[in-house]
Amino acid sequence: MQDVRDALYIGHRSDGTLTRRPMSPHLQVYRFRLSMFLSIANRAAGVAAAAGSALGVCWLNAASKGPESFKKVQKVTRNPLGKLALAGWTLALVYHFVAGLRHLAWDAGYRFEKKQINEDGPVAVGVTVGATLVLVASIFGVAACRSRKKKAS
């Protein structure tokens, strides 16, 4: 042992003998794989979903406060940028939901082989994109129809 830092790499085998633990190479040496992107995307989606949910509480608070507060929130939700944020929140929630279902399946012992994980990844992407588009279109569609009806009456 030449370097004192090597002490941190001493590990034990299950029989108690000493071994030099392998060092993990830096992230950039790995070839890009979909599974690695989907893994970190799940974490990012969780953070984004949390931030969106905190904003959702503001909507709830405004509704309970009264019509004037609610009008202020509507200014945000009816603004194009606000709509973009809502669509982003939807995407984050949908992906976190899909990836969460995959995690629950893995924890229960299903679809956890490397081959299966690589098969399921593109499916998860497809389901996420499809469900997000359907949800965003139907939510904004329903909202547009309802406000048009309000104006007409």
CA distance 137 to 141: 6
- Per CB under 8 A, which region of 25-33, 109-117, 119-127, 142-150 contacts another protein? 142-150
Q: Is 72 in the site for another protein (CB under 8 A)?
A: no
Q: Is 47 in the site for another protein (CB under 8 A)?
A: yes
Strand partners, 20: 10
Q: Is 129 in the site for another protein (CB under 8 A)?
A: no
Nearer to another protein, 110 or 118 (CB): 110
The whole-angstrom distance between residue 8's C-alpha and the CA centroid of its chain comes to: 34
Can you tell me which of 34, 39, 70, 105 binds another protein, judged by CB under 8 A? 70
- Alpha carbon separation from 69 to 24, 86, 146 (Å, rounded): 53, 19, 20
Count CB atoms within 10 A of the CB of residue 41: 19
Can you tell me which of 12, 21, 75, 111 binds another protein, judged by CB under 8 A? 12
Can you tell me which of 63, 84, 123, 137 binds another protein, judged by CB under 8 A? 63
Q: Please check whether residue 130 is in contact with residue 97, taking contact to mean a CB–CB distance below 8 angstroms.
A: no
Can you tell me which of 60, 84, 123, 137 binds another protein, judged by CB under 8 A? 60
